[in-house]
Amino acid sequence: MSTARTIAPAARSQRSRRDNIHGWAFSAPFLVFFLMFLVWPMISGAVMSLTGKSLTGANSGFIGLANYTEAFADSDMWRSLGNTLYFTLISTVPLVVIALALAAIVNMGLPAQWLWRLSFFSPFLLASTVVSLFFAWMYNPELGLFNDLLAKLGIPPVAWLNDPAVAMWAIVIATVWWTVGFNFLLYLAALQNIPQQHYEAASLDGAGGWRQFFSISLPQLGPTTVMIVILQILASLKVFDQIYQMTEGGPGGATRSIVQYVFEAGFTGYRLGYSAAISYIFFGLILVIALAQVFITRKRSA
């Protein structure tokens, strides 16, 4: 920056003015979309949640916090929130653990790396609708592969998507098949970034495969694991597609997620204001979880 110092103050201020203009000019296109399709909906949604607005446009007067007090007393809201947290819990664990196990095994120097990546990652490229069609068909009580397999093992058939006790697990199985390949790829990339010298030193010290995995790979993967868990929790909380497509939230609301409740309150129940209030409660939950995670990761690294 030796040139900058020789520039006269006037030229310098001219340059900083030009930088201001250029900077905002380059930011403007993004900013326009950002304001129109993110900031504005956030504001108008907050305003809408304070009104009784219906899908037909009627009743757009302010009703204060009535939507929120109604939502907090709405057992269906709590149930769908509970379903969402349940799904998040029982999907995040296998989506992280299986991904790590697959990556660790594939990274053992197996031949045909591309084949394994292809097999485990390719479902991630499918639209949710395709996944739901595949699995709804495999879960078919009479004609499905799952019950056929159970029958061969001498186990009585299961009403996969129609049994309230089983339906969420059935959805988790489909979800794991669909998206575990993404976390698997992230773990594989992280494993391949661990310097070889660590393993060489360990094997000179006589550490075996398992020992090396637990004392080298796993600690080295710590930061990646924290990231993957956070991203997975935030992704699982947003679940809607595959549940709506496979069970429509049933049986009897047993799998209805909070996003589906937002959708139904607005588009089936015609209550946009109420639906906006529920989406803000959902947003509040996401914020709390995100802040908790920031707090935990800070504390750990401090």
As given in the structure block, the two tokens for residue 59 are: 């009743």
Q: Is 8 helix (H, G, I), strand (E, B) or coil?
A: coil
Number of neighbouring beta carbons within 10 Å of residue 237: 20
**At CA 87, angle to CA 83 and CA 88, rounded to 5?**
115
Shortest separation between residue 233's beta carbon and other proteins, angstroms = 11
Picking from 62, 82, 42, 81, the residue whose alpha carbon sits closest to that of residue 276 is 42
Out of 7, 12, 13, 41, the only residue in the binding site for other proteins (CB under 8 A) is 41
Cα–Cα distance for residue pair 215/217, rounded to 1 Å: 6
Question: Between 110 and 149, how does the x/- string for binding to other proteins read (CB under 8 A)?
Answer: xxxxxxxxxxxxxx-xxxxxx-xxxx-xx-x-xxxx--x-
CB of 90 to other proteins, least distance (A): 20
Q: At what angle do helices 272-301 and 258-267 cross, to 10 degrees?
A: 160
* Cβ proximity to other proteins, 167 vs 225, nearer residue: 225
Helix (H, G, I), strand (E, B) or coil at 62: strand
- The nearest distance, CB 45 to other proteins, in angstroms, is 4
Q: List binders of other proteins among 43-82 (CB under 8 A).
A: 44-45, 48
Q: Which two tokens stand for residue 104?
A: 């660790």
Rounded CA-CA distance 170/166 in Å is 6
Closest to other proteins by CB, 162 vs 212, is: 212
User: Which 235-274 positions form the footprint of other proteins (CB under 8 A)?
Assistant: 237-238, 240-241, 245, 259, 262-263, 266-267, 272
Residue recorded with tokens 């059935």: 170
Minimum distance from residue 197 beta carbon to other proteins (Å): 8
Q: Which residues pair with 62 in a beta bridge?
A: 51
Q: Chain-centre distance of CA 173, in angstroms?
A: 16
List 7, 11, 14, 19, residue binding other proteins (CB under 8 A): 19
The answer to the question of residue 23 lying near other proteins (CB under 8 A) is yes
Among 66, 93, 166, 234, binds other proteins (CB under 8 A): 234
Written as six digits, the tokens of 3 are 């040139």
The smaller minimum CB distance to other proteins, of residues 83 and 132, is found at: 132
What are the distances in angstroms from CA 56 to CA 37, 45, 70, 270, 272?
A: 22, 16, 21, 7, 9
Using CB under 8 A, count the residues that bind other proteins: 103
Question: How many C-beta atoms lie closer than 10 Å to residue 6's C-beta?
Answer: 7
Q: Min. distance of Cβ 1 from other proteins in angstroms?
A: 9
Which residue, 16 or 165, has its beta carbon nearer to other proteins? Answer: 16
CA distance 115 to 98: 18
Stretch that binds other proteins, among 64-72, 75-83, 161-169, 285-293 (CB under 8 A): 285-293
Judged by CB under 8 A, the chain residues 189 through 228 that form the site for other proteins are 189, 191-192, 196, 199-200, 203, 209, 212, 224, 227-228
To other proteins, the closest distance from the beta carbon of 235 in angstroms equals 8
Of the residues 14, 27, 69, 268, which one makes contact with other proteins according to CB under 8 A? 27
Among the listed residues 85, 185, 220, 250, the single contact to other proteins using CB under 8 A: 185
